[in-house]
Amino acid sequence: MEAGSSLPLQVAALGRPFQLGMLYDCRTDCLIPGITLWDNEALHKDTVEKSQHNTEFEIIASDSIEDKSSALNVNTPLKASFLGGLVEVKGSAKYLKDTKVSKKQARVTLKYKTTTKFMQMTMNHLGRGNVKYSYVFEEGKATHVVTAILYGAQAFFVFDQEVSENEDRQNIEGNLEVMIKKIPTLAIEGEGSLKMTDSDGASVEKFSCKFYGDFSLDVNPVSFQDAIKVYTMLPKMLGEEGEHAIPVQVWLHPLKNLDSTAAQIVREISVGLVTQAQNILEDFDQLQMRCNDLLKDKAITHFPNIGKKLKLFKDMCSGNKLVFQKSLAEILPSIRGGGIDEGVLADLLREKEASPFNSDKLHEWLDCKQKEVTVLQTYARKLKGTKLVSSKSELDEEIWNSEAKHVVCFAFTSVQNEEQYLSILADHLKKSPSLKTAQTTSSQQLDMETEQWCYSDDALDRIREQVRLFVDFAEANRDNGNTTFIAASVHNQNHEGASIYLYEEGSKKNDHFEPPSKPKKPIASDTTHESVTVEFSHPKYGSKEVTHYLIEYRARDTDTWQAVSTPTADSVYTVSGLLPHTEY
């Protein structure tokens, strides 16, 4: 619609209680109840009613705002008002607000629409001199009047299925679409006509269903079979005469055509700016889905601090989304009424992307969390069954209640690091617009990857090295009842990535314990008829922790091993008491 147009405007009802003769303000897209241009008798007289029966169905494979708006015949101006929260939708129009909660969610929607009658006012209402309460024009509360209504009802069956790691979402959505296309035929052929193979039957059991409709149901459908039953009943639920139909589409007549003093739309929002606002809000939905998926990851159970950061990030994104929508709700009516220029909206969109809540920065932070989770999962698996405790209290319990003298703990030391970016986001939400410029600059200069330990080659090398030492040491002491091995997240800024902690009888003895690595193969340097002098190099790691060595030997023709312990950590020792003329 062009600003100031004298042509009627067609808009979607979206579950709102429209009536002929009702006033409407297109600046805010709000109905104005209780104020009319005619008395009640005149409003019900001389209206024209025409039967308009039509039924259609549509498969919607997309979950975008654009496609959902199209399914409900929402035009660009009304969509802008919906995005800003100016329009409260009801009934089937609540479908507009339903978004996926996970990227691992396949979704296909079945739309049902039926119309019953078309009602309109006549020139007996709209002709010159036929308005009774002309002073209403001077009040400037409305820009249009409802002159025609198309009645009917709509329903949306939203089918979802969770997608596992080894499944392809597009393939599942394709299968969903094939099965859902069969539903409309049931209304004609009857429920028994749906023939499903065993595989189809197993497939539909995985579908969940949500219903958004203009029909009054005792119980909403939650499964594929429920949806079939409800769909077959819909044609009868409007009543024999369509008495339960509601407005689905309305026509609005500009008041300035009736009186030049009436309020009007001065300018409409350009499509490009509405699209930008839509993209920003859809991106917030994408961020929510990514957060939800990460929060479901098994690693979050063992590393709850990451979960806390993700929840904080998610809440702050939701907060910024509400702030953005509130700004839209304030700006849109003022632009349409001519109070401010459209450039104010353009400035708002630019400021959003120049702020710490810049879309690229938000996704970059989530990319970092995804990598951190992947790194932690990878090395947690390499610990080969070592118990991974998730909290300090659980760690303390393991240490204090252990019957072993020593507890060796592999510590992921950087998971609990403070993050500057989250602090910047939190501060940005608290401050007034006039105080946000410096913060915007600092967020733009922040190098996200530099702040994250999982992008540090030194930290990753250290984890790799510490895991190998820990696993080898645990394997060597597997049968040693005097030592217990666990893993945990323990914050330590001095040892980025990982460190090995040693506890003795409940007390921490070392926060950077270096388990001795295996020494190189020993060399026999001197041999007599009853002894062998063995030389060996100290291990590459943990040599300071070595108090003695255990040398095992056996005669080649026996399976029995003997052992001797060196009295010191010297690298030379003579094994004596050997049998002469015997190969060892």
Query: How many other β-carbons are positioned within 10 Å of the β-carbon of residue 509?
Result: 12
Rounded (10°) angle between helices 271-295 and 359-382: 20
pLDDT: which is higher, 525 or 350: 350
The confidence score (pLDDT) of residue 443 equals 56
What tens digit of pLDDT does each residue of 97-106 get?
999 999 999 9
Query: Whole-number mean pLDDT of the chain?
Result: 89
DSSP string of 455-523, one letter each residue:
G-HHHHHHHHHHHHHHHHHHHHTTT-TTEEEEEEE---TTSSSEEEEEEETTEEEESS--PPPPPPPPE
Dihedral angle, C-alpha 300, 302, 308, 311, nearest 10 ° = 20
Note the pLDDT tens digit of each residue in 366-379: 999 999 999 999 99
Residues 107-126: tens digit of each pLDDT:
999 999 999 999 999 998 88
Q: Is 6 exposed, middle or buried (0-12, 13-18, 19+ CB in 10 A)?
A: exposed
For the record, the structure tokens of 20 come out as 């002929």
Q: Note the pLDDT tens digit of each residue in 171-200.
A: 888 888 888 888 887 656 665 455 666 666
Q: For the residues of 278-328, what is the DSSP string, one character each?
A: HHHHHHHHHHHHHHHHHHTSHHHHH-HHHHHHHHHHHHHHHHHHHHHHHHH
The radius of gyration computed from the CA coordinates of the chain, to the nearest angstrom, equals 36
CB 322 within 8 A of CB 250: no
192 DSSP assignment: G
Distances in Å between the Cα of 261 and the Cα atoms of 2, 35, 139, 140, 336 are 19, 17, 10, 8, 17
Query: Greatest CA span in the chain, whole angstroms?
Result: 132
Of 5, 8, 27, the C-alpha closest to 336 is 27
Q: How far apart are the first and last CA of the chain?
A: 98
The model's pLDDT over 242-279, given as tens digits with 9 standing for 90+, comes to: 899 999 999 999 999 999 889 998 888 999 999 999 99
Q: Each residue of 354-407: pLDDT tens digit? A: 999 999 999 999 999 999 999 999 999 999 889 999 999 999 999 998 888 999
- For residue range 462-477, list pLDDT tens digits in order: 999 999 999 988 988 8
Three-state secondary structure call for residue 12: strand
Which amino acid belongs to residue 45? K
Report the alpha-carbon distance of residue 194 to residue 173 in Å, rounded.
Answer: 20
Torsions phi, psi of 373, nearest 5? -60, -40
Write out the H or E segment, with its range, that includes residue 333. helix 304-336
Domain coordinates in residue numbering, the chain:
9-265, 272-510, 523-575
- The string of pLDDT tens digits covering residues 129-167 is 889 998 999 889 999 999 999 999 999 999 999 988 888
For residue 197, give both structure tokens: 């193979």
How far is Cα 483 from Cα 403, in angstroms, rounded to an integer?
A: 9
Tokens of 552: 């095992």
Name 148's bridge partners.
120, 251
H or E element at residue 80? helix 76-83
**Hey, is 201 helix, strand or coil?**
helix
Q: List, edge to edge, every strand of the sheet that includes 498-504.
A: 387-388, 483-489, 406-412, 498-504, 507-510
The β-bridge partners of 19 are: none
Secondary structure of residue 237 in the 3-state scheme: coil
Q: How far is CA 265 from the centre of its chain?
A: 38
User: Beta strand 483-489 with 406-412: parallel, antiparallel or unpaired?
Assistant: parallel
**How far apart are alpha carbons 28 and 86 in whole angstroms?**
7
CA 239, chain centre distance (Å):
41
**What pLDDT band is residue 3 in, cutting at 50, 70 and 90?**
low
Q: Write out the H or E segment, with its range, that includes residue 226.
A: helix 224-233
